[in-house]
Structure 1
Amino acid sequence: MAPLTSLYPKAFQNRVSKNDAMVRKARFGFLKAAGNNFIILQLLFLGLFCYVFGSLFAQTSHTHNLNILFVDYDGGAIGHAVREAYTALKGKSFPSLIERSPADHPSTADVWQAVCHADYWAAIYVVPGASDRLEEALSAGQQQTPSYNNRDVMAYVWNEALYAPTIDASISSNIQLLSNAARIAYTTGRGTGNTTTAAIISSSPSVLSVLAEPWQLESLNIQPTPQGSRAIYNTIVIVLILIQEFFYLGTINGLYAQFKLYTRLSPYRIAAVRNLNSLVYTLAGTLCVTGAIWAFKAGWDVDGGRFALCWVTFWLFAHANFLTLDVFTIWLPAPYVPMALVSWIICNVTSVLLPFELSPGFYQVGYLFPAHGVYQVLTDIWSGGCNPRLGYALPVLFAWEAVGLALSVLGVFRRCHFATLGEEVQAREFKEKLDAAVAVEVSRLHALIKLEGKKKREEEDAEKEDRGEMRGRGEAASSAGRGDVNQEEEEELEQARERQRNHVDCSFGPSFDLAFHGNNGAE
């Protein structure tokens, strides 16, 4: 204890006993407030954890909601093997294979467009004549094996830019599994046509190699997205943008409080400058975000035009969120603003963690959040227009922007109104204190004048000294009585002031200490 006392000598001075009445009252208030906040925060974060984990719960069992198109242009044994393989793999943990006739998709270009238009998550097709060419290669026996290209048999179309980590695991991997299962179904004899076991045994090594690997599944990836940073495009990038806007909002609020601008400038001017400031800030911030993505794209095939489109999209998203957070700080009580921020971040991130097909139906409420809209727009840009969901994504973003702008401007008028009321209350309190001080000084002067008169009379009449002393004591008692009355009046006045403060209470938003403190114009 001695080193601590010498290091901080004032830390133990003027301490009151733990049994003091004031301490007991403060202790009760502290425990009550701490307990209430303990319960509220625990319930809040429990709800947020359940919300996030609920969106990921039993993800694999929802894989069947992902539809894959299958078109058999060949109409032979290979297509039959694919159907057999799907029958064996079909289940909740495997994507649904939707077969369509070649008449619905006359060419492979139509299959590509079906995936590009987001009608299906992927598509598999068998090349025309593939079964005949394979059968011919297997029937060669000891003769010269005809030229056979096992890559011109079956292919699948997919877009890796859409939820890249998820689509790799749920789409690409399962299609590879389906192809391998179909190969086994084919080579076990259920689809090999006229190829007999004896013929196979007597075949040349080249025929055996064809039988061992009758085809290599060709991958036609609309937008390859193999870079490692793809895993955070729909998580940390969203979180950092939201936090970036919140902290600058706190800085702006600190500046307005420091320079007392709400009581000095026109609300129209404040709203215009405040929004212009936020537009410039979000423009520069999203340029940094987009630049960082491009700097670490690791060979990702996206050009400069897509860079500009991504920048504008991030800008719209960031500014809409700046306005939304500003609305939170205006209309919510200050203690609830951090809770609203955390909830807003979690709800937005959850809306883009997984495709809605892999989450319970309740989580389709995520269509309302701007993060889901911005991610749909970004994937459309990245894949060259192969995610045409702009019809709802852009209106959602612009709706948040419009509503946030309207409420934010209205909030400027609200802040100016209550800031002016607060100034009036402070001015009234100052006047009351000044009047009280003047009244005390006048009373003191009057008392001094009376005292001087009494002293003169006491000097003229020494015999009245005793009575003068008694009179002095009486005046002291009267003064003490006036002190008690003044104290009671002061308490009543303080209660009235507190009621006035509550009447003009308004949330001006979070305000952070500034890294740079300007003094010009500040009081």
Structure 2
Amino acid sequence: MSDSYSQENSYQRHATEKSEAHRHAPMAPITTPVVPDAEDKPFSHGLFDNDPATSSARKGWLKISIFGVLVLFVMIWGVLPIYWAALGRSYNNVHNLSGYVVDFDGGEIGQAVTQAFKNITGSQQMSWLILDAAQFPGGPDEVAQALLDHRCWAAVTVNPQASTNLNASINAANASYNTTQAVTAYLTSGRNENIYRGTITPQVISILTNISHIFSLSNSQLLASRSDISTLLQTAPLLVIQPLAFTINDIRPFNVPVASAVDYVGLIYLLILAFVLTNQLLAARVESGFEKRLRLRPLIVIRLLWPVTLYFFVSLMYSLLSLAFGVPFGRKFGHAGFVIYWMMSWCSMTALGLALESMITLLTIKFIPIFLILWIISNVSVAFYPIEVLPAVFRYGFAMPFYNVSTTVRAIIFDTKNQIGLNFGVQFSWILISCITLPIFQWLVRRRQIKAWEASQRAAREKA
């Protein structure tokens, strides 16, 4: 009985102590859920709201937008004039294009033609050189070969015995005599269809037409005193009306319109393809986190070798597109012509693309379009017209990728002067430059990245 009473008192005492402890324990603070202010909710503000966050965001938006417009202003006046100058001032330098005039006749026709070309002057006229026929023992064919060797841009020959044949035909009233055999003008429009279409061909035709007209007038005055003039007019009127005519012989004609897609316009697309691939490779490295996992050396290796490998297949698809649309790559080198063009496309895409790959390291994705515009304009400006008719500053074009691709394409398709070895050398030079600059730029960026990472680690340790 006493044990039961003692145990009960123990329970009561324990309950009393627990109650007292609970009563004197500090109370937990009552927390109320924080409801965000409606003014701070995203997607809920007007354009001209004056709350601090919206005002700050609007200020940053205006700053970035205006900066972008100012950058465009700089590009318009600092980059685009390169192309405008290449087109707008080309006609002022047409005199830099030389033409040969060779008299193989030695008679009155030869004298009339050479004298007319001597009198041609002006900065918008070709410079015509009157050369002795003795310099071309092979005759007019050797003059044509000089044109194919790019020693001149046009050549006019007064063919052997032109005056003798004309006089003999007049005396015999030979109606079968072809007066166009007297003078031949040689052209190679496949060398640069733009300058021939707009300048060289019209000038040559205009000059020779004027010579023909003047000679016809003077010759008809001489024939007017002949007793048989009426008979001559009846049997061979052309010998009186137009005793001197000419033939235009375009020995390398631009007769493949689709070739413009591979020797000029298509080069822009080739560069754009390289730019798209450069952006994709950057996204692949960054978004996957692969770039931060690699040491500097293996990162440089994949940035140099992997794009070149991909360019190989992209350039093949690009080349096959031209082949599918009928570009005749086999005219000069047979089946090897396509392979040469493919390899040139690969090398030029590598030269163009690695330059972008190198510059995007420093400029980042935000500013690389500025370099892209400069890269396009500087290449395009020297590929439309011959560099000889451009202002002297455009002499840099001989070392640009576009110009050398265009020269190779014209050699393959139109059988113009073969400078393919030099053209490949230029592309390799650009590739070498990128192989030097890209590791340097990547090293500089990696140093900055390491310093930023170390700073963040120190901050995290200090916070902990």
TM class, shorter-length: 0.7 to 0.9
Within the candidate set 307, 313, 317, 1:284 is matched to 313
1:224: which partner in 2?
253
Residue 225 of structure 1, CA deviation: 1.6
**Structure 1 residue matching 2:156: 3-state secondary structure:** strand
Q: Between 251-260 and 359-368, report the one with greater CA deviation.
A: 359-368
Counterparts of 1:274 and 1:131, CA distance in 2: 69
Residues 130 and 153, structure 1, Cα contact 8 Å, conserved in 2:
yes
Residues 188 and 250, structure 2, Cα contact 8 Å, conserved in 1:
yes
Counterparts of 2:302 and 2:43, CA distance in 1: 49
Residue 242 of structure 1, CA deviation: 0.9
1:345-374 residue CA offsets vs partner (Å, 9 max, x unmatched): 111101212112322222223334222233
Within the candidate set 145, 156, 159, 1:127 is matched to 159
1:400 maps to 2:430: yes
1:114: which partner in 2?
146
1:324: which partner in 2?
355
1:271: which partner in 2?
300
**Structure 2 residue matching 1:78: 3-state secondary structure:** helix
1:159: which partner in 2?
188
Aligned residue pairs: how many?
A: 421
1:105-131 residue CA offsets vs partner (Å, 9 max, x unmatched): 122232122112211012111111111
Residue 411 of structure 1, CA deviation: 4.1
Closer/same/farther in 2, CA of residues 333 and 305 from structure 1, 3 Å limit: closer
1:369 maps to 2:369: no
Counterparts of 2:179 and 2:167, CA distance in 1: 12
Closer/same/farther in 2, CA of residues 359 and 199 from structure 1, 3 Å limit: farther
**Structure 1 residue matching 2:181: 3-state secondary structure:** coil
What code does the residue aligned with 1:322 have? G
Residues 287 and 311, structure 1, Cα contact 8 Å, conserved in 2:
yes
Q: Between 199-208 and 251-260, report the one with greater CA deviation.
A: 199-208
Residues 348 and 366, structure 1, Cα contact 8 Å, conserved in 2:
yes
Closer/same/farther in 2, CA of residues 41 and 146 from structure 1, 3 Å limit: closer
Structure 1 gaps, min length 5: 1-9, 436-523
Residues 366 and 372, structure 1, Cα contact 8 Å, conserved in 2:
yes
1:265-316 residue CA offsets vs partner (Å, 9 max, x unmatched): 3444343344332223222222233333333347787343222222211211
2:36: which partner in 1?
none
Quote the sequence identity (%): 21
Residues 135 and 192, structure 1, Cα contact 8 Å, conserved in 2:
no
2:73: which partner in 1?
42
Within the candidate set 201, 205, 208, 1:172 is matched to 201
1:103: which partner in 2?
134
**Structure 2 residue matching 1:74: 3-state secondary structure:** coil
2:113: which partner in 1?
82
Closer/same/farther in 2, CA of residues 106 and 350 from structure 1, 3 Å limit: same
Counterparts of 1:339 and 1:191, CA distance in 2: 65
Residues 151 and 215, structure 1, Cα contact 8 Å, conserved in 2:
yes
**Structure 1 residue matching 2:100: 3-state secondary structure:** strand
1:340 maps to 2:361: no
Closer/same/farther in 2, CA of residues 273 and 349 from structure 1, 3 Å limit: same
Residue 63 of structure 1, CA deviation: 2.1
What code does the residue aligned with 2:218 have? G
Residues 64 and 92, structure 1, Cα contact 8 Å, conserved in 2:
yes
What code does the residue aligned with 1:210 have? L
Residues 60 and 93, structure 1, Cα contact 8 Å, conserved in 2:
yes
1:5: which partner in 2?
none
What code does the residue aligned with 1:40 have? V
Closer/same/farther in 2, CA of residues 314 and 222 from structure 1, 3 Å limit: farther
Residues 234 and 375, structure 1, Cα contact 8 Å, conserved in 2:
yes
TM-score relative to the length of structure 1:
0.72
Residue 157 of structure 1, CA deviation: 2.3
Residues 263 and 419, structure 1, Cα contact 8 Å, conserved in 2:
no
Closer/same/farther in 2, CA of residues 199 and 175 from structure 1, 3 Å limit: farther
2:389: which partner in 1?
358
Within the candidate set 311, 319, 335, 2:342 is matched to 311
Residues 186 and 192, structure 1, Cα contact 8 Å, conserved in 2:
no
Counterparts of 2:213 and 2:81, CA distance in 1: 43
Structure 2 gaps, min length 5: 1-40
1:72: which partner in 2?
103
What code does the residue aligned with 1:132 have? T
Q: Between 184-193 and 167-176, report the one with greater CA deviation.
A: 184-193
1:294: which partner in 2?
323
Residues 76 and 131, structure 1, Cα contact 8 Å, conserved in 2:
yes
TM-score relative to the length of structure 2:
0.80
Closer/same/farther in 2, CA of residues 55 and 288 from structure 1, 3 Å limit: same
Closer/same/farther in 2, CA of residues 192 and 106 from structure 1, 3 Å limit: farther
Residue 160 of structure 1, CA deviation: 1.7
What code does the residue aligned with 2:181 have? D
RMSD over equivalenced CA pairs, Å: 3.1
1:148: which partner in 2?
177
Residues 155 and 217, structure 1, Cα contact 8 Å, conserved in 2:
yes
